[in-house]
C-alpha cells in the first residue's frame, strides 16, 4: 500500500511541475540594441515623445509625394497621332464615288492596317500611322491633285480610336481599355470610360504603373483636398489597378493582444489610427489583470530591425501623448499582465491539482485504515 502512496505522490509532483512550466504570455523586454532572431531591437519611450510625429499639412507638395512628377501645371496642346487599328473617315467633297465607293454598303471609316498603312482610291497606299488628321488630309489632297482632281476639298476625321490605350483593371464596372482620343486623357475620364468604380473599390489605394514604376494614388484624398485630378495626365500604355476593400483591408491591420477587453485587429485603411484609439476599440485595458505601466507597440520596421515603443499609462495624461502615436501596418499592440494577475493564474492552475492530490491522499489513507482493520 505504501508503494501506491508513493506512486500517487510522484504523479502529483509531476503534475505540479507541469503547472509551473505551463505557458503564460509575458513581455520579456530586451535591452536596447539587443539582438533577437537576427534583428536589432531598439527601445523607445512614448511618454518621452520618442517617436516620429508629423503635423497635418495642407501643402500640396507634401500631400502629393512622388505624384508631383505626374502633375502638369497646365494642359499642353495635344495632337492625336493616328495608329494601327484606328479608323479614319476621308471625305472628298462633291465626289461621293471617292468618299463612299461602295455606297451604303461601306462601313463608316476605313481601318488602319496593323502595318500602319491606309489605301485610298487614286492616292494609293499611305503610311498613315504617326500622322495627325491634318497631316493625313494634306497627303491625300496632294496625291489626288497630282492625279485626277484640281483643288480637291478633302476632310479627314478619326471615327474610332483603338491604337493608344490605358489598361484599367480591378474594382471597376467594365475592366478593360480606355482609349485615347483628341481630348487629354485624365484619370477621371479613364475611370468613367470603364463604367466608374464599383461599391467595393478602395479608391485610396489606386495604383498607376508607368515605365516600370508604380505610383499609389489616394483618389479620395486628392478629391477631398480639392487637388485637380485632371492635372494628372495619362500616357499610352499606362496601367491602372483599383483594388477591392476586401483585399486591402486584410493587408493593412494592426493587432491588439494581451490584457484588453478583447483580442482584436483594427483596420488602418480609411484613416490614421492612434494608439489611444486602438486601446479604446479593444475595450480598454482590463482593470483587474492589466499592468497599465506595461503597454507596448512592437513594430518590425525593417527585415533586420524591430522597434519597441513603451507606454506607461499609470497616469491617464499619458494617453494624450499616446493619441499622437499613429499605428502602422502590422503593428502589434500588447498590454502585459500585472504581477497579481500572473500569480492568480498560477494559483488557478495549481488548485485543481492540489485538490486532486488531497482527495487522492485521503483515499489512500482510507484504504490503509480499512486494510488495517481487516488484519
Q: How far apart are CA 5 and CA 13, in angstroms?
A: 12
Q: What is the pLDDT of residue 58?
A: 40
Percent of the chain surpassing pLDDT 90: 29
6-45 per-position pLDDT tens digit: 444 454 444 444 444 444 567 777 777 888 888 899 999 9
Instruction: Please give the angle made by the CA atoms of 228, 229 and 234, to the nearest 5 degrees.
Output: 135
Q: What is the pLDDT of residues 223-254, one digit of tens each?
A: 777 777 777 888 899 999 999 877 766 667 88
Instruction: Tell me the pLDDT tens digit for each residue of 51-110.
Output: 875 444 444 443 565 677 777 777 777 788 999 999 999 888 888 877 776 555 556 778
pLDDT tens digit sequence for 193-232? 899 999 988 888 889 999 889 888 888 788 777 777 777 8
Q: Write down the pLDDT at residue 57.
A: 41
What pLDDT is attached to residue 368?
A: 66
Q: How far apart are CA 336 and CA 333, in angstroms?
A: 10
What percentage of residues in the chain have a pLDDT greater than 70? 75
Section 348-365 average pLDDT: 58
pLDDT at 21: 42
Q: Which alpha helices (DSSP H) does the chain contain, by range? A: 2-20, 60-64, 96-99, 133-147, 187-193, 219-224, 245-251, 275-281, 318-322, 339-374
CA angle 71, 73, 77 (to 5 degrees): 100
**pLDDT for 5 beyond 50:** no
Cell 483596420 locates to: 267
Amino acid at each position: 500500500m505504501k508503494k501506491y502512496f508513493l506512486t500517487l505522490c510522484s504523479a502529483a509532483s509531476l503534475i505540479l511541475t507541469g503547472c509551473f512550466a505551463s505557458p503564460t504570455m509575458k513581455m520579456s523586454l530586451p535591452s536596447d540594441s539587443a539582438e533577437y532572431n537576427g534583428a536589432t531591437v531598439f527601445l523607445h519611450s512614448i511618454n518621452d515623445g520618442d517617436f516620429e510625429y508629423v503635423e497635418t499639412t495642407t501643402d500640396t507638395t507634401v500631400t502629393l509625394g512622388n505624384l508631383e512628377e505626374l502633375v502638369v501645371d497646365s494642359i499642353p496642346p495635344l495632337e492625336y497621332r493616328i495608329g494601327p487599328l484606328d479608323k479614319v473617315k476621308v471625305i472628298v467633297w462633291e465626289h461621293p464615288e471617292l468618299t463612299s465607293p461602295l455606297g451604303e454598303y461601306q462601313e463608316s471609316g476605313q481601318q488602319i492596317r496593323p502595318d500602319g498603312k491606309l489605301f485610298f482610291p487614286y492616292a494609293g497606299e499611305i503610311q498613315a500611322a504617326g500622322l495627325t488628321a491634318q497631316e493625313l488630309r494634306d497627303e491625300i489632297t496632294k496625291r489626288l491633285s497630282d492625279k485626277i482632281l484640281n483643288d480637291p476639298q478633302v476632310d479627314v476625321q478619326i471615327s474610332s480610336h483603338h491604337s493608344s490605350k490605358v489598361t484599367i483593371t480591378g474594382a471597376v464596372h467594365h475592366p478593360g481599355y480606355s482609349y485615347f482620343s483628341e481630348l487629354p486623357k485624365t484619370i477621371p475620364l479613364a475611370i468613367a470610360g470603364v463604367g466608374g468604380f464599383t461599391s467595393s473599390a478602395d479608391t485610396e489605394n489606386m495604383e498607376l504603373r508607368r515605365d516600370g514604376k508604380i505610383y499609389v494614388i489616394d483618389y479620395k484624398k486628392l478629391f477631398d483636398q480639392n487637388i485637380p485630378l485632371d492635372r494628372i495626365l495619362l500616357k499610352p500604355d499606362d496601367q491602372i489597378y483599383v483594388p477591392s476593400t476586401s483585399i486591402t483591408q486584410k493587408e493593412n491591420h494592426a493587432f491588439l493582444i494581451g490584457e484588453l477587453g478583447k483580442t482584436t485587429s483594427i483596420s488602418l485603411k480609411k484613416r490614421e489610427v492612434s494608439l489611444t484609439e486602438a486601446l479604446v476599440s479593444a475595450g480598454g485595458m482590463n482593470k483587474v489583470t492589466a499592468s497599465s505601466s506595461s503597454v507596448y507597440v512592437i513594430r518590425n520596421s525593417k527585415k533586420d530591425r524591430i522597434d519597441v515603443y513603451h507606454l506607461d499609462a499609470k497616469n491617464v495624461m499619458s494617453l494624450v501623448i499616446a493619441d499622437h502615436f499613429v499605428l502602422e501596418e502590422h503593428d502589434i499592440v500588447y498590454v502585459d499582465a500585472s504581477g497579481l494577475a500572473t500569480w492568480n493564474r498560477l494559483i488557478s492552475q495549481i488548485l485543481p491539482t492540489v485538490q486532486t492530490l488531497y482527495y487522492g491522499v485521503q483515499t489512500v489513507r482510507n484504504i490503509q485504515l480499512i486494510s488495517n482493520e481487516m488484519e
